[in-house]
């Protein structure tokens, strides 16, 4: 009888557990993966083993396996090792680089980017990954942040370097260009020296003092709110971020497509470094191309893709084809996909596992949506929260600061409410800050959060966690604005605008209005091809879907919505230009009560500015 009862309980228990938590199996798989990663990190810390060591191990294990495919060229793991040996020897001989030095990389996606990083690692040097879109003041700023002795630039970027060459020469910086000849005084050719160098292995003694806490990289923030900041990435952090592929279910026989810029965390760390950790093949492309994306996937038998920002929307906006589902892609990793795009992407391109994640390059807390819940950026897990304590706290968007109680401590929001994400800074979840920028580093620290003396990392992001433990991105604290005493989340407004049939892209932001408190809503729209803006239809839609305070009062029509090099929408410049017709040649529209969106005139603007027309 007892045995029968026990058997019945054991038989029914999984069903009860499933009914209480339908995601229990995926939670368990995640827990097992997290424990395995923890054990691996423990071994790496005890007997230091860098990602370079991991690469060399893969060279030894499968020397003839394809490592990098670029356009019509293909390199095995062994060939990549030898190419990087040549670069390392050239840099050691001609640039006098040695352990502890920093060199800045200023070039686009190409094999030499990978060889140069591996070469620097073999010399025990740190690489500063510069955004190849920056120029003049920003370029000098980024270079000076990292104390680099050497600048290595692509041949196509010589003009950008020449602009700042006098300053670099003044600082005694050696500048090398990846070409065989250069006649410019102060710029030395490097490609000829690489070709003449030996491809024999370098002694590990050259990097003998590198450890888990040593600097590995400088990766720069996108600079959407000012000059870019150099996030300090040590070897421990590099390892942890590279394990995303393991959580996403990437296998050793996969082929990953990297089209994101290698100067960015997603492309370099989660893409390239993650590929090295798994020992897989990388197909590298110079730049993202929506029209060539799926053709490349078919040509190279891609099984894993990456995305960021608006990329998935760009893919959904391409003309539909009969062979949309004809590919081998099974995993997509990234962040920034909207819920509507997520659903559309799956319907159109087939059963692909989308692994949405959340995190900042410099942050100490992140999330992974390992379940595949549409719209969520992650899921809470007790193991994760134990290792990286975090909380969502109440935030006052008007005062632009966290709300504190009578004792001066922050207030954690209940499940289902929006709050500012903060991560506790400690040994398990450190925050290294920004190179040579103590002010900005301290600005990201929030003190006395729940008790006297504690310190938390201020993510700057407003999130919401539902009752099932799924995490949703709401807005950046600088993007959310307050109008008529109400908070307006730009992402929510944009989601509603994208439902209008003639709108292809929407960028929502708040603009200041003279004589009014807060900021009023404005949206920059890109229209679908061969479609016009319909002011009455747009008004009807916002009226039916949004409260009055959230409706964009001004609309700006653009040929293309401005984004950063990593496909994040730019808002600051748009907000500064506001709704003044004299500040832009783009068509502007004004929401007239009960009438709809009508063309914005200079006369209307003057009336609003002078206060004769109240909003």
Record the tokens describing residue 395, joined without a space: 């935030």
Last residue of a domain, one of 450, 474, 498: 474
Task: Please report which helix (H) or strand (E) contains residue 474, including its range.
Answer: strand 470-476
Record the tokens describing residue 587, joined without a space: 């068509």
pLDDT tens digits, 242-284: 999 999 999 999 999 999 999 999 999 999 999 999 999 999 9
Whether 443 and 589 map to the same domain: the answer is: no
- The residues that bridge with 109 in the sheet, in sequence order, are none
Whether 88 and 222 map to the same domain: the answer is: yes
Whether 396 and 533 map to the same domain: the answer is: no
For residue 486, the model assigns a pLDDT of: 74
For residue 563, the model assigns a pLDDT of: 82
Arithmetic mean of pLDDT, 113-127: 98
More confident residue, 586 or 568: 586
Say if CB 102 and CB 125 are below 8 A apart. yes
Whether 431 and 567 map to the same domain: the answer is: no
pLDDT tens digits, 444-455: 999 999 999 999
pLDDT tier at 547 (50, 70, 90 boundaries)?
A: confident
Give Rg (Cα) of the chain: 26
Minimum mean pLDDT among 199-203, 410-414, 508-512, 544-548: which range? 544-548
Whether 459 and 547 map to the same domain: the answer is: no
Whether 553 and 436 map to the same domain: the answer is: no
pLDDT tens digits, 310-344: 899 899 999 999 999 999 999 999 998 988 899 99
Domain containing 494 — which CATH number? 3.30.300.30
For residue 482, the model assigns a pLDDT of: 75
pLDDT tens digits, 57-66: 999 999 999 9
How far is the C-alpha of 486 from the C-alpha of 499, rounded, in Å? 23
Whether 213 and 131 map to the same domain: the answer is: yes
Whether 98 and 220 map to the same domain: the answer is: yes
Kindly report the pTM of this predicted structure.
0.86
pLDDT tier at 406 (50, 70, 90 boundaries)?
A: very high
pLDDT tens digits, 182-204: 999 999 999 999 999 999 999 99
Does residue 363 fall inside a structural domain?
no
Residue 74, CA distances (Å) to 64, 66, 300 in order: 11, 7, 11
Range of the domain at 208: 77-233
For residue 373, the model assigns a pLDDT of: 96
Arithmetic mean of pLDDT, 108-116: 98
Q: What percent of the chain has pLDDT over 90?
A: 77
For residue 242, the model assigns a pLDDT of: 96
Arithmetic mean of pLDDT, 36-57: 96
Q: What is the dihedral of CA 449, 451, 452, 456, to 10 degrees?
A: -40
- The residues that bridge with 218 in the sheet, in sequence order, are 128, 232
Residue 153 above 50 pLDDT?
Answer: yes
Domain containing 464 — which CATH number? 2.30.38.10
Whether 105 and 221 map to the same domain: the answer is: yes
Whether 414 and 458 map to the same domain: the answer is: yes
Residue 293 above 90 pLDDT?
Answer: yes
For residue 5, the model assigns a pLDDT of: 54
Record the tokens describing residue 82, joined without a space: 């030898």
For residue 475, the model assigns a pLDDT of: 83
Arithmetic mean of pLDDT, 127-134: 92
Does residue 169 fall inside a structural domain?
yes
Residue 366 above 80 pLDDT?
Answer: yes
pLDDT tier at 2 (50, 70, 90 boundaries)?
A: low
Last residue of a domain, one of 437, 459, 474: 474
DSSP string across 251-292: -TT-EEEE-S-TTSHIIIIIIIIHHHHHT-EEEE-SS--TTT
- Three-state secondary structure call for residue 64: coil
Mean pLDDT of the chain: 91
pLDDT tens digits, 573-582: 888 899 999 9
Residue 371, CA distances (Å) to 90, 310, 356, 378 in order: 47, 22, 9, 8
pLDDT tier at 545 (50, 70, 90 boundaries)?
A: confident
Does residue 327 fall inside a structural domain?
no
Does residue 337 fall inside a structural domain?
no
Does residue 29 fall inside a structural domain?
no
Number of domains in the chain: 3
Whether 82 and 228 map to the same domain: the answer is: yes
Does residue 434 fall inside a structural domain?
yes
- Three-state secondary structure call for residue 532: coil
For residue 133, the model assigns a pLDDT of: 87
Task: Please report which helix (H) or strand (E) contains residue 456, including its range.
Answer: strand 455-465
Domain containing 209 — which CATH number? 3.40.50.980
Does residue 104 fall inside a structural domain?
yes
Does residue 105 fall inside a structural domain?
yes
Residue 11 above 70 pLDDT?
Answer: no
For residue 483, the model assigns a pLDDT of: 82
For residue 117, the model assigns a pLDDT of: 98
Residue 524 above 50 pLDDT?
Answer: yes
pLDDT tier at 147 (50, 70, 90 boundaries)?
A: very high
Whether 104 and 202 map to the same domain: the answer is: yes
Last residue of a domain, one of 233, 250, 280: 233
For residue 399, the model assigns a pLDDT of: 79
């Amino acid at each position: 009888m007892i045995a029968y009862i026990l058997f019945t309980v054991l038989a029914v228990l999984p069903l009860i557990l499933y009914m209480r938590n339908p995601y229990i199996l995926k939670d368990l798989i995640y827990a097992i993966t997290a424990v395995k990663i923890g054990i691996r990190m423990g071994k790496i810390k005890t007997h230091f083993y860098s990602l370079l060591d991991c690469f060399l191990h893969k060279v030894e294990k499968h020397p003839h396996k394809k490592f990098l495919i670029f356009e019509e060229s293909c390199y095995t793991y062994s060939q990549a090792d030898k190419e990087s040996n040549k670069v390392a020897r050239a840099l050691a001989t001609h640039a006098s680089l040695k352990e502890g030095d920093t060199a800045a990389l200023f070039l686009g996606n190409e094999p030499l980017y990978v060889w140069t990083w591996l070469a620097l690692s073999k010399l025990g040097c740190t690489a500063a990954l510069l955004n190849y879109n920056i120029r003049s003041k920003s370029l000098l700023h980024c270079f000076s942040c990292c104390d680099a002795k050497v600048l290595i630039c692509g041949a196509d970027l010589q003009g950008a370097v020449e602009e700042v060459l006098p300053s670099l020469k003044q600082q005694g910086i050696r500048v090398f260009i990846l070409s065989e000849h250069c006649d410019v005084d102060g710029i030395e050719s490097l490609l000829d020296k690489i070709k003449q160098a030996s491809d024999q292995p370098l002694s590990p003694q050259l990097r003998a003092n590198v450890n888990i806490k040593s600097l590995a990289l400088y990766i720069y923030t996108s600079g959407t709110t000012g000059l870019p900041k150099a996030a300090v990435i040590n070897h421990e952090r590099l390892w942890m971020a590279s394990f995303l592929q393991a959580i996403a279910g990437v296998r050793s026989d996969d082929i990953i497509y990297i089209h994101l810029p290698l100067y960015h965390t997603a492309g370099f760390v989660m893409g390239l470094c993650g590929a090295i950790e798994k020992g897989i093949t990388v197909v590298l492309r110079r730049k993202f191309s929506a029209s060539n994306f799926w053709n490349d996937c078919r040509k190279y038998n891609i099984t894993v893709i990456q995305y960021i920002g608006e990329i998935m929307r760009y893919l959904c906006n391409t003309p539909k084809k009969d062979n949309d589902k004809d590919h081998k892609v099974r995993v997509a990793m990234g962040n920034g996909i909207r819920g509507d795009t997520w659903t559309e992407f799956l319907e159109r391109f087939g059963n692909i596992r989308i692994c949405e994640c959340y995190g900042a390059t410099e942050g100490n807390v992140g999330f992974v949506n390992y379940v595949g819940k549409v719209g969520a950026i992650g899921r809470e897990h007790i193991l994760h929260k134990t290792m990286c304590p975090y909380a969502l706290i109440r935030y006052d968007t008007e005062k632009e600061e966290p709300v504190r109680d009578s004792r001066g401590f922050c207030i954690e929001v209940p499940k289902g409410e929006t709050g500012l994400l903060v991560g506790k800074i400690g040994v398990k979840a450190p925050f290294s800050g920004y190179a040579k920028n103590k002010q900005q580093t301290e600005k990201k620290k929030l003190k006395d959060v729940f008790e006297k003396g504690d310190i938390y990392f201020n993510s700057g992001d407003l999130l919401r966690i539902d009752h099932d433990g799924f995490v949703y991105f709401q807005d950046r604290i600088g993007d959310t604005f307050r109008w008529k005493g109400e908070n307006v989340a730009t992402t929510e407004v944009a989601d509603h605008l994208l439902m209008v049939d003639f709108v292809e892209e929407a960028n929502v932001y708040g603009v200041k209005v003279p004589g009014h408190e807060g900021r009023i809503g404005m949206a920059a729209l890109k229209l679908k091809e061969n479609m016009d803006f319909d002011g009455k239809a747009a008004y009807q839609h916002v009226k039916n879907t949004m409260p009055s305070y959230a409706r964009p009062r001004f609309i700006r029509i653009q040929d293309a919505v401005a984004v950063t090099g990593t496909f994040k929408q730019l808002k600051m410049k748009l907000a500064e230009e506001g709704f003044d017709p004299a500040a832009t040649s783009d068509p502007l529209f004004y929401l007239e009560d009960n009438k709809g969106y009508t063309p914005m005139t200079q006369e209307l603007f003057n009336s609003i500015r002078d206060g004769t027309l109240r909003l």
